[in-house]
Amino acid sequence: MSSYTPEVDGLPDPGEVVWTWVPYEDDPERGKDRPVLVLGRVAGGLLLCLPLTSKDHDRDAEQEARWGRHWLDVGSGGWDAAGRPSEVRLDLVLRLPEAAVRREGATLDRDIFDAVVEAARDFHPDL
């Protein structure tokens, strides 16, 4: 289901980090604009995405795992103007309409994309 096909064409493609509104888990009425990694497309024009953060979860990985949240370092890229290193959340797949994407941020390196997909399959075998 996940295939690396980024094209800098203004459309969200697997392998790209794009920006969109992501609701908070504890209050879906609220949220924030954040980068997500596009993994693929599914029926109905929905994108499968994983959220990114610049917060370092290495120091609280044990606590995060107790809450069911699992992260993988993906480094820095053009999606963060400050050049901060990012982590991708592996256990939470967002299904977002393509129209919800506001802009392309950058393309993730192919090897890192493949590592993310492989790690996310531990939580979502159908990827």
How much is the pTM?
0.92
In a domain, 79, yes or no: yes
Region 89-103: mean pLDDT is 92
Q: Is residue 106 part of a domain?
A: yes
Q: How confident is the model at residue 123 (pLDDT cuts 50, 70, 90)?
A: very high
Domains identified in the chain, total number: 1
Given this model, what pLDDT does residue 94 score? Answer: 95
Determine contact, residues 93/126, Cβ cutoff 8 Å.
no
The per-residue pLDDT for 1 is: 63
Residue 75 tokens read as 């480094």
* Residue 82, domain member (yes or no): yes
When the pLDDT of each residue in the chain is averaged and rounded to a whole number, the result is: 91
Condensed to tens digits (0 to 9), the pLDDT of residues 18-50 reads 999 988 888 888 888 999 999 999 988 899 999
8 domain-assigned: no
Q: Is residue 11 part of a domain?
A: no
Cα–Cα dist 29/69, whole Å: 21
Does any domain span residue 1? Answer: no
> What range does the domain containing 35 cover?
16-122
Mean pLDDT value across residues 49-66: 88
Contact 83, 75 (CB under 8 A): no
The beta-strand segments (E) located in 1-127 are 16-23, 31-42, 46-53, 71-75, 86-89, 94-97, 101-107
Distance CA 101, CA 11 (A): 8
Question: What average pLDDT does this structure show over 50-77?
Answer: 90
Residue 83 Cα to chain centre, angstroms: 17
Output the domain CATH number for residue 56.
Answer: 3.10.129.130
